[in-house]
Amino acid sequence: MTRTGADPGAGAHGDMPASEFREEGHRLVDWLAEYFRWSLDNPVLSRVKPGAIRAALPPAAPEEGEPFERILADFERVLVPGLTQWNHPGYFAYFPCGFSSPGALADLLSTAVSQQAMLWRTSPAATELEDVVLAWLRRALGLPEEFEGVIYDTASTAVVHALATARHAKAPEVRSLGLTGRGPGAFRVYCSEHAHSSVDKAVIVLGLGHDNLRRIAVDAEFRMRPDALAQAIDEDLRAGHTPLAVVATVGTTSVTSVDPVPAIADVCAARGTWLHVDAAYAGAAAVLPECRSALAGVERADSFVVNPHKWMFTPFDLSAFYCRRMDLLRAAFGLTPEYLKTSETSEVRNLMDTGFQLGRRFRALKLWVVLRYFGLEGIRERLREHLRLARLFAGWVDEDPGFERVAPVPFSVVCFRARPQGAGAAARSGGGEAGALNDFNERLLAALNDSGEIFLSHTSLDGRYVLRFAIGNIRTTEVEVRGAWDRIRELARGLAEGTRP
Ligand code: PLP
């Protein structure tokens, strides 16, 4: 790209001169390349104590500007120790964060070109690229063509929009009148006992009332029971409530179970209830033909969300939301003050109409870069490898009498716990055998995370303290998975024998 006229490097404007930008930019990228190498030998879970970072920083902003180099040096000295390394190959906690180097470069690019896509005219590129990449993703996952997409920051934001649209479908008057004028019946929302807490928050934020979220019982494999759902909805109808929406999950947070979406869709269709499918983590697996069945029934959903920032190598944050009735979503949220009116509105999509947020980052860019850099085949290869590694790990757990697997492994998360033989574990706890096992696994997790080599998280299943081993980091290989398993066994043995505190 060439430019005539004044050299911005001369620093005539208030920004960093171009020559300095070039120099510091190179330094930053070099620093990052080093950091990626350095980070491998440093703790995955940050070891700083609460308040330490704050204490190391001055209480007020400097009056005089400082050189970028000095700021970067402080970043390294003060902040790096407080970074929990989500992109470390030994990161196995929660769900992965979709990191990749091309994705990170794309985020830099997106910020540097400074796009804010509230209106088509404020960024035709960001607006139209968003359409294009969401169509690519829709096709790659085998979603219906009628699903129109929009990018939000997170699945939490997506479910708020899904439920608000469901409410607009049922009771458009709420937009003007609010909920206060409604009769005694309440809007009800349903999800399984294992659905993500973002559903609770959506119900709270929309003023529907937390008590109006009904958690439906699950079967032995942690999947929502459609019979229990139908019963709950019918009960509510008899009581004069208004069943609003069901949130089904494909890949629940604790155990990655898959709710039976086709049967749930039947229940919803028979009762006129909105169906939102939350596939925040596991939806990405549908790029694999052999995993497509995980999304069976989704073609009957009213809305759907998948997070490329979880398991598609796209840096946080980028959540892809699809809706069959985007017209209703626009009706629920559309509002154009004079200062945002434009002449081309009838020909274009203004992203501000597809939700409560006005300003929009150029998020589509990183998904575009990731999809192009790896290609769908490259993404499939990586996901297949993660699935293979999860099966391998699950096999090791199954074969070891000192451990047990506590849930099926449909994707790349293994839920398991140690079951040490003998009295060593029980001796330390007064809560009987179940309490002793929970206590043992809690101590095992703390020891693993203290090791600095790996980071795992936990959940609770039917009163059992369970460790979750979540694979999905682009840099994780069999070496780290095997190393983690060796460490888990070694630490469990040490705890059981009392050679570790
Ligand atoms: N849904 C499921 C199934 C999740 O596991 C999570 C987070 O882990 C969420 C929703 C919320 O994701 P986000 O952080 O994008 O709001």
Residues 102-161 pLDDT 10s:
999 999 999 999 999 999 999 999 999 999 999 999 999 999 999 999 999 999 999 999
CA of 202 to the centre of ligand 1 (A): 12
Quick one: pLDDT at residue 180? 82
How many Å apart are CA 127 and CA 133, to the nearest integer? 10
Residues 66-109 pLDDT 10s:
999 999 999 999 999 999 999 999 999 999 888 999 999 999 99
Our mutation pick for probing the ligand 1 site, out of 153, 257, 307, counting the most ligand atoms within 8 A of Cβ, is: 307
Measured in degrees and rounded to the nearest 5, phi and psi for residue 189 equal: -125, 145
Whether the pLDDT of residue 425 is over 70: the answer is no
Ligand 1 atom 14, closest CA = 154
Least confident of 9-18, 128-137, 306-315: 9-18
Quick one: pLDDT at residue 7? 54
CA of 455 to the centre of ligand 1 (A): 19
CA of 258 to the centre of ligand 1 (A): 14
Q: State which ligand 1 atom lies nearest to the alpha carbon of 279.
A: 3
Q: What average pLDDT does this structure show over 342-346?
A: 87
Pocket of ligand 1 (CB under 6 A): 95, 154-156, 196, 198, 249, 251-253, 278, 280-281, 307, 319
Question: For residues 326-351, b (16+ Cβ closer than 10 Å) or e, as one string?
Answer: bebbbebbeeeeeeeeeeeeeeebbb
Surface-to-core class of residue 253, CB atoms within 10 Å of its CB (0-12 exposed, 13-18 middle, 19+ buried): buried
How many Å apart are CA 204 and CA 212, to the nearest integer? 9
Residues 192-202 pLDDT 10s:
999 999 999 99
Whether the pLDDT of residue 451 is over 60: the answer is yes
Q: State which ligand 1 atom lies nearest to the alpha carbon of 94.
A: 8
CA of 491 to the centre of ligand 1 (A): 31
Ramachandran bin of 432, using left for φ above 0, alpha for ψ from -120 to 50, beta for the remaining angles? left
CA of 319 to the centre of ligand 1 (A): 9
Ramachandran bin of 178, using left for φ above 0, alpha for ψ from -120 to 50, beta for the remaining angles? left
Q: How far is CA 339 from CA 119, 205, 335, 342, 345, in A?
A: 11, 28, 11, 9, 13
Q: How far is CA 110 from CA 175, 225, 239, 301, 446, in A?
A: 34, 43, 51, 32, 39
- Edge to edge, what strands does the sheet with 274-278 contain? 148-152, 319-323, 303-306, 274-278, 242-249, 187-192, 213-216
Q: What average pLDDT does this structure show over 327-353?
A: 94
How many Å apart are CA 135 and CA 200, to the nearest integer? 30
Instruction: Say how far residue 93 (Cα) sits from the centre of its chain.
Output: 12
Q: State which ligand 1 atom lies nearest to the alpha carbon of 251.
A: 3
List the alpha helices (DSSP H) in 178-225: 197-205
CA of 380 to the centre of ligand 1 (A): 22
CA of 312 to the centre of ligand 1 (A): 14
CA of 283 to the centre of ligand 1 (A): 12
- As a three-state string, the secondary structure of 319-386 is EEEEECCHHHHHHHHCCCCHHHCCCCCCCCCCHHHCCCCCCCCCCHHHHHHHHHHHHHHHHHHHHHHH
Q: Which helix (H) or strand (E) holds 460?
A: strand 457-461
Quick one: pLDDT at residue 501? 58
Q: Is 18 helix (H, G, I), strand (E, B) or coil?
A: helix
Quick one: pLDDT at residue 429? 47
| Pick from 256, 205, 193: nearest CA to 229 | 193
Q: Kind of pairing, strands 187-192 and 213-216?
A: parallel
Q: State which ligand 1 atom lies nearest to the alpha carbon of 253.
A: 5
Quick one: pLDDT at residue 427? 44
Q: Kind of pairing, strands 242-249 and 187-192?
A: parallel
Residue 15 — pLDDT band, cuts 50, 70, 90? Answer: very high
How many Å apart are CA 321 and CA 202, to the nearest integer? 15
Our mutation pick for probing the ligand 1 site, out of 159, 163, 256, 281, counting the most ligand atoms within 8 A of Cβ, is: 281
Q: What average pLDDT does this structure show over 258-285?
A: 98
How many Å apart are CA 169 and CA 177, to the nearest integer? 15
The pTM assigned to this predicted structure is 0.95
Average pLDDT over the chain, rounded to an integer: 94
Domains (range + CATH), the chain: 18-84 (1.20.1340.10), 116-361 (3.40.640.10), 371-497 (3.90.1150.10)
Measured in degrees and rounded to the nearest 5, phi and psi for residue 346 equal: -70, -20
Residues 373-390 pLDDT 10s:
999 999 999 999 999 999
The percentage of residues in the chain with a pLDDT greater than 70, rounded to a whole number, is 95
How many Å apart are CA 313 and CA 380, to the nearest integer? 11
- Cβ–Cβ < 8 Å for 444, 418: yes
CA of 280 to the centre of ligand 1 (A): 6
Our mutation pick for probing the ligand 1 site, out of 194, 196, 200, 413, counting the most ligand atoms within 8 A of Cβ, is: 196
Ramachandran bin of 106, using left for φ above 0, alpha for ψ from -120 to 50, beta for the remaining angles? alpha
Our mutation pick for probing the ligand 1 site, out of 151, 152, 153, 156, counting the most ligand atoms within 8 A of Cβ, is: 156
| Pick from 391, 389, 374: nearest CA to 473 | 389
Residues 170-187 pLDDT 10s:
999 999 999 887 777 899
- Cβ–Cβ < 8 Å for 444, 491: yes
